[in-house]
Amino acid sequence: MRRPRICLFALVLGGSCLAQQWELGASGGLAFYKDLTVTRGSQSATAGFKPGVAVSVFAGQNLYQHLGGEFRYTFGFSDMKVSSGGTETTFSAQTHALHYDLLFYGARREAKVRPFVAAGGGIKVYRGTGKEQESQPLAQFVILTRTQQVEGLISVGGGVKLKVGQRASVCLEARDYITRTPQNVIAPWTGSTISGWVHGIMPMLGVSLRF
């Protein structure tokens, strides 16, 4: 009796796996960052990242009619900056985000238009790639450094997927990548403090294939 039961279980499990739809895709867009406030006594400055570009690759799975999951890697070019009193210093930088999100769809799997919201988490790597100088303007507030730092990441966002043909989709979306300030990369000088979290808001346009 056990062998027929095992075979039946294997068939059910196999059918469930086949019913799940996988998706591979890529997207690109812009990256906008919320400024951080730096204070030193009665003086203040803003620091953070300049607007840049970002590209993503992702692998997703439609788990149920209104629920999916997605692994995503996002690479960004956004220079670091610090500014105060009309003076601004910049420093080349890169970001790397790796995370898993749950996608909650507002329409069933077979619908041509599927709005969704996404939430998940992972890690984000900040890398300063510029050339360090002995004397950096506004160094009394922060030093922009050629180092890297890994921070925990919260990912939230939403968008809409539009089916094009039998297998392809176009996706319009926006993600907010939230981390603590990487204070080894944007390093506060003695007596300075940085307040706020880093918000990287990324509107993107992508394409994907289902199989």
Q: What is the pTM of this model?
A: 0.86
Q: CA 138, 83, 126, 92 torsion: positive or negative?
A: negative
Please count the CA atoms within 13 angstroms of the CA of 79 that sit on its side-chain side. 11
| pLDDT digit string (tens) for the chain, length 211 residues | 445 444 433 433 344 444 458 999 999 999 999 999 999 999 999 999 999 999 999 999 988 999 999 999 999 999 999 999 999 999 999 999 999 999 999 999 889 999 999 999 999 999 999 988 888 999 999 999 999 999 999 999 999 999 998 899 999 999 999 999 999 999 999 999 998 999 999 999 999 998 8
Name the one residue in this structure whose structure tokens are 């690759």.
57
Please count the CA atoms within 13 angstroms of the CA of 96 that sit on its side-chain side. 7
Task: Give the H or E element holding residue 172.
Answer: strand 168-179
Q: Which domains does the chain have, with CATH numbers?
A: 20-210 (2.40.160.20)
Please say whether the beta carbons of 168 and 162 come within 8 A.
Answer: no
